[in-house]
Amino acid sequence: MDFTGTSLNDRLLFGVPKKGRLHQACLDLLAGSDIQFHRHNRHDIALVKNLPLALVFLPAADIPFFVGQGRVDIGITGRDQVAEHEVGTPPTEATGVVEVLELGFGACKLQVQVPEKGPIQTPQQLIGKNIVTSFTALAAQYFQKLEGAESSVQTNGDAGSKLATKIQFVGGSVEAACNLGFADGIVDLVESGETMRAAGLKAIDTVVESTAVLITSKHPSDPKLVHIIANRIRGVITAKKYVLCTYNVERRLLPVVSQITPGRRAPTVTSLDEEGWVAVSVMEQRSKIAPAMDALLEAGAVDILVTEIGNARMGSVD
């Protein structure tokens, strides 16, 4: 069915990072999920052609807000952004987000960083000093714990008002704050660590470990469509993670080979015309398949074949 002519009000809204470290991986995931759309240049809304869905391209940091508080029903963002939003704006029964699925990309850490050649070696030494970050709520919560403070976290540019530690918001180039003499330490995301090292910084603690996640509203407008989209995305991730391994083996060796290739749930075993022999079909992790094939051959399996999985629907099994 073609949905290009329907209005935005008739569609489920899906928040997608408009740029940054998650953007291209999200586009690849949407393509693998057969979510067909065309985004016009400079437009931040794209109508999906084959589903009653509209993609809303937003800064990753804004997606938890629009999913938890607004009309966007589902979105992709970093776990760090979800944590920052929910610390700064505690969800109620009617608001907030639900993490549906970890997506397997965008891994990073929100870390406390200080000048590599400076005198500060521990987070405790930063108490009462100047911290620069774009994650003010998480940073305030972190330093409250260090200070033993009982006051609640403040946000909206006043995150550190009840702290001895002074926390200031900067939207970009956080890593430059120490070199410019504006901060004694920073709280910022670290992926490979190259930018951190280039700025002459080192990490002394981790506030949050993050990865890309699929989130939904607690009360989506179309739960059935949300479920369909989540299953499609889960299928794409599974197809990338697993391959299908098939082989023939004597039935008496099944207990041995089943230990080598236990599968995602269990092997599928089919009797062959040749007496005493069976065919086995099993999903195995791509990263483990080469040594598994070696072990199968050693155990007596023959005709061992590996096939790529183009897509999948996995139900509720993780």
* Predicted pLDDT of residue 5: 60
Three-state DSSP string of the chain: CCCCCCCHHHCEEEEEECCCCCHHHHHHHHHHCCCCECCCCCCCEEEECCCCEEEEEECHHHHHHHHHHCCCCEEEEEHHHHHHHHHHCCCCCCCCEEEEEECCCCCEEEEEEEECCCCCCCHHHHCCCEEEECCHHHHHHHHHHHHCCCCCCCCCCCCCCCCCCEEEECCCCHHHCCCCCCCCEEEEEECCCHHHHHCCEEEEEEEEEECEEEEEECCCCCHHHHHHHHHHHHHHHHHHHEEEEEEEEEHHHHHHHHHHCCCCCCCEEEECCCCCEEEEEEEEEHHHHHHHHHHHHHHCCEEEEEEECCCCCCCCCC
Angle between helices 223-241 and 23-32 (to 10 degrees): 100
- Ordered structural domains, the chain, with CATH: 8-104+212-221 (3.40.190.10), 108-210 (3.40.190.10), 242-308 (3.30.70.120)
Residue 7 has pLDDT above 80, yes or no: no
Q: pLDDT, tens digit, for every residue of 14-23?
A: 999 999 889 9
Question: Does pLDDT of 318 surpass 80?
Answer: no
Return phi, psi of residue 259, to 5°.
-75, -30
Residues ≥6 apart with Cβ < 8 Å to 220: 12, 73, 74, 226
Predicted confidence at residue 265, as pLDDT, reads: 86
Q: What is the pLDDT of residue 313?
A: 86
pLDDT digits (tens, 9 = 90+) for 220-278: 999 999 999 999 999 999 999 999 999 999 999 999 999 999 998 889 999 999 999 99
> What average pLDDT does the chain have?
90
What pLDDT is recorded for position 95? 80
Q: For residue 91, what pLDDT is reported?
A: 79
pLDDT for 206-215, tens place per residue? 999 999 999 9
Report, as an integer, the average pLDDT of 125-153: 85
> d(Cα 186, Cα 134) in Å, to the nearest integer?
9
**Measured at the alpha carbon of residue 83, what is the angle toward residues 77 and 87, in degrees to the nearest 5?**
140
Q: Give CA separation, 55 vs 32, 47, 215, in Å.
A: 15, 6, 14
Region 272-298 average pLDDT: 96
Cα of 307 vs its chain's centroid, Å: 27
Give Cβ neighbours of residue 251 (< 8 Å, ≥ 6 apart): 276, 277, 278
Q: What is the pLDDT, as a whole number, of residue 9?
A: 79
- Average pLDDT (303-311) is 95
In the predicted structure, residue 317 carries a pLDDT above the cut 70: no
pLDDT, tens digit, 9 for 90 and up, residues 144-202:
999 984 343 344 445 545 678 999 999 888 999 999 999 999 999 999 999 999 999 99
d(CA 35, CA 13): 13
* Residue listed under structure tokens 């989540």: 230
Q: Is the pLDDT of residue 1 over 80?
A: no
pTM over 0.85: no
CA distance 64 to 73: 10
Cβ atoms of 68 and 205 closer than 8 Å: no
Percentage of residues of the chain with pLDDT beyond 90 = 78
Token pair of 45 as six digits: 């809304």
User: Rounded mean pLDDT of 55-64?
Assistant: 95
Could you give the dihedral angle defined by the CA atoms of residues 47, 48, 53 and 56, in that order, rounded to the nearest 10 degrees?
A: -50
